């Protein structure tokens, strides 16, 4: 094991030294072979999808190009924003309860890091838990220590700090809302300091007409757009009920079938023009670190084109993915640039847009819209724990957890995942973690186990 690692390190060291001599290692463009993150253009990282040591890493885009710096005078619905599915479910995160986490992870970095990379839409699942509101995944509609990530206010404070430091940026939060207490959400938004950035429901067009312009949102400092999945909160707390304003395609694996773009069940039809915002979901039922590399590449562009047709020739305002930094080159950030190009100025890339230009008067040399994958992606070796678990996880796991919208993580799935984790921690000889884990399994999981097929509530 160690020897293989060493051999591959020597191999790369040689390769990189050679590359270094030729390129002097800075400002490498997307998809060029790289040495480390610093050798790539800003907004890119050095990485590889394959886990194949003979395929050297390349510069991979992790940031879209900001449309705000180009053209601000258009309505909010004329822009596209990179959006992270389950933005809070971060790899390597331990539950703030101190428990081991038995929940899938969807992203690699913190909310602050995501925002610094240009993520502007955050999908957050909020639950009542421990006399507070937590970001969590559920099991029978409830949050448990081993599915709870952290109190929601922590993340809201990160958003507040970012908005404070970046006075022309706008952020949208999509809450999958399980909070029942009166004004529960309002309280944490106020406590986080985000109240002052609140974009009021009264300014949202509910009949499909244009939103206020970015300029106007920035000038009035109403730079936080929040949607909830609970309809009653629009009247009671002034939090916009998402399905009055947004259409979405089907999320999860069913939404990723090539050539079709069905609407999500809760959403008005994709082509319904009485909703002015369009959100593209593009992630599988079970988050998969390895596959995300492929899924965020050419298939995302293909699906964006398919959904454009399904949405009555509208490009997505939000592009929601897992592991937004993973791709074989341009990835989700390039998809956002493409959508922004079309929405803002009728070109294939936001880079072609200029203030006051005629719509569609694009540079004839503009690059083609669909970046073709340069390397084939194998689902080999260096897997992250989440996807390793996913792959080995058997039926229970695959049956799934679908997406956040699924109200319950199936117990079978949890038990399977827990047993896999237990196995792993025993191999790693992490006594404390193993003990915690076996306690969770024996005290919390097994007693709830029912004959196959039943599902509690």
Ligand X SMILES: *[C@@H]1O[C@H](CO)[C@@H](O)[C@H](O)[C@H]1NC(C)=O
Smallest gap from residue 149 Cβ to ligand X (A)? 12
Nearer to ligand X, 208 or 394 (CB): 208
Which residue's CB atom is positioned nearest to ligand X?
97
Q: Where are the alpha helices (DSSP H) in 198-247?
A: 214-219, 232-237
> Residue 206's Cα: distance from chain center in Å?
26
Residue with the two structure tokens 């896999």: 420
Rounded-to-integer distance, Cα 202 and Cα 217, Å: 13
Rounded-to-integer distance, Cα 137 and Cα 406, Å: 10
Nearer to ligand X, 274 or 423 (CB): 274
Smallest gap from residue 357 Cβ to ligand X (A)? 27
Smallest gap from residue 378 Cβ to ligand X (A)? 4
Nearer to ligand X, 101 or 194 (CB): 101
Nearer to ligand X, 29 or 257 (CB): 257
For residue 63, give the nearest of 41, 96, 39, 89 by alpha carbon: 41
Residue 69 contacts by C-beta under 8 Å, 6 or more apart in sequence? none
Smallest gap from residue 397 Cβ to ligand X (A)? 23
Smallest gap from residue 395 Cβ to ligand X (A)? 26
Contact 324, 119 (CB under 8 A): yes
Rounded-to-integer distance, Cα 388 and Cα 397, Å: 11
Smallest gap from residue 380 Cβ to ligand X (A)? 5
CB atoms within 10 A of CB 411: 19
Rounded-to-integer distance, Cα 280 and Cα 304, Å: 7
Smallest gap from residue 92 Cβ to ligand X (A)? 19
For residue 317, give the nearest of 326, 327, 308 by alpha carbon: 308
Determine the Cα angle at 197 with ends 73 and 275, to 5°. 60
Nearer to ligand X, 309 or 366 (CB): 309
Mind giving me the DSSP string for 297-350? Answer: SHHHHHHHHHHHHHTTS---SEEEESSTT-SSSSHHHHHHHHHHHHHHHSSSSG
Nearer to ligand X, 135 or 171 (CB): 135
Smallest gap from residue 55 Cβ to ligand X (A)? 5
Smallest gap from residue 258 Cβ to ligand X (A)? 4
Rounded-to-integer distance, Cα 336 and Cα 64, Å: 6
Determine the Cα angle at 134 with ends 129 and 136, to 5°. 95
Nearer to ligand X, 13 or 372 (CB): 372
Contact 336, 81 (CB under 8 A): yes
Residue with the two structure tokens 């340069």: 374
Smallest gap from residue 208 Cβ to ligand X (A)? 7
Contact 332, 324 (CB under 8 A): yes
Smallest gap from residue 386 Cβ to ligand X (A)? 22
In the complex, which residues of this chain contact ligand X (CB under 6 A)?
52, 54-55, 97, 99, 130, 145, 205, 207, 209, 258-259, 302, 378, 380
Nearer to ligand X, 220 or 378 (CB): 378
Residue with the two structure tokens 């969807």: 106
CB atoms within 10 A of CB 408: 17
Smallest gap from residue 103 Cβ to ligand X (A)? 14
Rounded-to-integer distance, Cα 101 and Cα 90, Å: 11
Contact 337, 349 (CB under 8 A): yes
């Amino acid at each position: 094991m160690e020897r293989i690692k060493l051999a591959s390190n020597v191999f790369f060291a040689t390769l990189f030294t050679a590359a270094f001599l030729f390129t002097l290692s800075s400002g490498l463009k997307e998809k060029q072979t790289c040495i480390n993150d610093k050798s790539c253009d800003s907004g890119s990282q050095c990485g590889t999808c394959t886990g194949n040591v003979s395929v050297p890493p390349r510069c991979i885009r992790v940031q879209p190009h900001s449309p705000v710096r180009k053209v601000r005078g258009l309505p909010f619905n004329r822009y596209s924003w990179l959006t992270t599915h389950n933005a809070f479910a971060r790899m390597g995160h331990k539950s703030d309860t101190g428990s081991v986490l038995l929940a899938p992870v969807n992203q690699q970095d913190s909310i602050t890091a995501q925002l610094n990379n240009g993520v502007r839409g955050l999908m957050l699942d909020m639950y009542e838990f421990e006399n507070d509101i937590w970001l969590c995944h559920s099991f029978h509609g409830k949050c448990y220590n081993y599915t709870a990530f952290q109190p929601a206010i922590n993340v809201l404070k990160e958003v507040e700090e970012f908005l404070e430091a970046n006075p022309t940026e706008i952020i949208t939060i999509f809450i999958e809302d399980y909070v029942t207490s009166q004004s529960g959400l309002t309280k944490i938004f106020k406590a986080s300091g985000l109240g002052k950035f609140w974009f009021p429901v009264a300014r949202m067009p509910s009949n499909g007409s244009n939103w206020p312009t970015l300029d106007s949102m920035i000038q009035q400092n109403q730079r936080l757009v929040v949607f909830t999945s609970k309809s009653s909160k629009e009247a009671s707390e002034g939090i916009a009920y998402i399905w009055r304003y947004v259409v979405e395609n089907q999320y999860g694996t069913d939404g990723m079938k090539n050539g079709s773009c069905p609407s999500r069940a809760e959403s008005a039809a994709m082509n319904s023009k009485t909703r002015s915002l369009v959100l593209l979901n593009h992630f599988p039922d079970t988050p998969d670190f390895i596959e995300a590399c492929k899924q965020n590449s050419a298939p995302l562009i293909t699906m964006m084109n398919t959904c454009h047709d399904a949405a009555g020739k509208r490009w997505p305002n939000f592009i929601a993915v897992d592991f937004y930094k993973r791709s074989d080159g341009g990835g989700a950030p390039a998809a956002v640039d493409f959508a922004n190009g079309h929405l803002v100025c009728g070109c294939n890339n936001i880079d072609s847009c200029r203030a006051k230009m005629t719509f569609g008067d694009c540079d004839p040399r503009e690059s083609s819209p669909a970046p073709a994958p340069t390397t084939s992606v194998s689902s080999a070796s260096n897997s992250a724990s989440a996807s390793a678990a996913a792959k080995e996880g058997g039926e229970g796991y695959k049956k799934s957890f679908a997406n956040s919208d699924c109200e319950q993580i199936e117990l079978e799935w949890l038990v399977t995942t827990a047993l896999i984790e237990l196995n792993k921690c025993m191999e790693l000889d992490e006594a404390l973690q193993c003990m915690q884990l076996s306690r969770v399994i024996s005290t919390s999981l097994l007693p709830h186990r029912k004959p196959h097929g039943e599902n509690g509530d």
